[in-house]
Amino acid sequence: MMGKCTLGLAVSLVTLLLTVTYAEETQRRTYSHPCMGTVFYITLYSDDANASQKAVDEAFQRIEAINQAASDYLPESELSRFNRAPTNEAVHVSDDLYRLIALSLKTSELTSGAFDITAMYSVQLWRRAKRQHRAPTPEQVTHAVALTDWRALQLDEVHHTVTKTKPELMIDLGGIGKGYAAHEALLVLKQHGITTALVAGSGDLAIGDPPPAKTGWDVALRTFEKPEEKDRLLHVTLHNCGCSTSGDLHQFLELDGVRYSHIIDPKTGLGLTNHIACTVIAPDAAWSDALDTPMCVLGVEAGLKVIESQPQTSARFVMLQADGTIISTTSANFPVTEK
Ligand code: ADP
Ligand code: MG
């Protein structure tokens, strides 16, 4: 995931169209910082350049700290050390790692295991397959599935520990880390009194109060094969929420005519082949990022049931059909504004 991952598709699916607005002295300011294999952008409105810079520096430091805790690319990250820890040992973990794992397990429960951070072996198999342009063997896939089991992670809230109850269990937080980091960065800005802000990390947006004189931030979801067809962008006006997009309509591994996504079905250990992308809008970006990945695994029918069971949560699914056409389905409460 983080560090130097190939993220891909969400980048190509989501484009931010941020309207430039100048209130009396308030100015729109933008900042960027590379981390987690992507670039994080902060856009905020403030009348004080120095105070904004200080708040933004701290927000980016917060993202760096989360990467140090949760990256599986950094061999000395807290997560990498946890992945090397022995079975049945209660490991004391930082607040960030604890919260990321707790939210992930809640998502696994809610999605019947379609989201599973212990699918690390399968994720690694498909990362390697993409690099080598060669599919994993059935034996490798079976082995990876056997090592996947989110129920084998035990949390102890009182002692703040995580225990692996199954040998060789490993965690990958790629499906949730960027959204969590964007959300935490937005909280840092709020602590500095900057509430009119948006933090974007590739396909994950943490969105604060609306810009001056606006009802929200204009977010354009690019959903068609030809991005230049601007009239086919779908615009949503959002504030105080998270918005995350995941899927594989544009980037994929193609082997023997089959397209495999970087999203894995934890039950089969295979990269998805259903050509689906999903945008989730939820109360915060950690939650929207946790949900967008399993929505692609579950598909429209089962996915919508999960989305509709959650307060203030909505989703849009986009599917590439065999004949090359693209169709979409939204949950009833998805805030669509067609242009
Ligand atoms: P992005 O596409 O922006 O990286 P996603 O939220 O779609 O973000 O997460 C994809 C990443 O999640 C993969 O690169 C992998 O690390 C991890 N992953 C893949 N499949 C699953 C799954 N079923 N459950 C949990 N994590 C997954
Ligand atoms: Mg995700």
Answer whether 183's CB lies under 8 Å from 284's CB: yes
Give the span between the Cα atoms of 137 and 141, in whole angstroms: 6
pTM for this entry: 0.91
Taking the CA of residue 92 as centre, how many other CA atoms within 13 Å lie in the half-sphere pointing to its CB? 2
Task: Give the confidence band of 13 by pLDDT, cuts at 50, 70, 90.
Answer: very low
Tokens representing 324 are 């090359």
Tell me the average pLDDT across 136-147: 97
290 CA distance to ligand 2 centroid (A)? Answer: 5
Instruction: Give pLDDT, residue 324.
Output: 76
Tell me how crowded residue 239 is: count the other CB atoms within 10 A of its CB. 15
- Check pocket membership of 291 for ligand 1, CB cut-off 6 A: no
Pocket test for ligand 1, best of 40, 71, 263, 292 (most atoms within 8 A of CB): 263
Give the span between the Cα atoms of 124 and 130, in whole angstroms: 10
pLDDT tens by residue, 18-75:
334 444 478 999 999 999 999 999 999 999 999 999 999 999 999 999 999 999 999 9
Q: Which atom of ligand 1 is nearest to the CA of 264?
A: 20
pLDDT tens by residue, 268-288:
999 999 889 999 999 999 999
Q: How far is CA 291 from CA 151, 193, 295, 310, in A?
A: 18, 29, 6, 11
Pocket test for ligand 1, best of 262, 276, 292, 298 (most atoms within 8 A of CB): 262
Percentage of the chain lying above the pLDDT 90 cut: 76
Asked if residue 339 has pLDDT above 50, the reply is no
Q: How far is CA 37 from CA 6, 178, 186, in A?
A: 7, 10, 19
Nearest CA to ligand 1 atom 26: 175
174 CA distance to ligand 1 centroid (A)? Answer: 5
Nearest CA to ligand 1 atom 8: 175
Q: Which atom of ligand 1 is nearest to the CA of 202?
A: 3
Nearest CA to ligand 1 atom 5: 175
- Check pocket membership of 118 for ligand 1, CB cut-off 6 A: no
Task: Give the confidence band of 223 by pLDDT, cuts at 50, 70, 90.
Answer: low
Q: How far is CA 264 from CA 33, 145, 324, 326, 330, in A?
A: 29, 11, 23, 22, 23
Q: What is the mean pLDDT of the chain?
A: 89
- Check pocket membership of 263 for ligand 1, CB cut-off 6 A: yes
Asked if residue 216 has pLDDT above 90, the reply is yes
Contacts of 112 (CB under 8 A, 6+ apart): none
64 CA distance to ligand 2 centroid (A)? Answer: 19
291 CA distance to ligand 2 centroid (A)? Answer: 6
Nearest CA to ligand 1 atom 9: 175
Nearest CA to ligand 1 atom 7: 246
Instruction: Give pLDDT, residue 251.
Output: 60
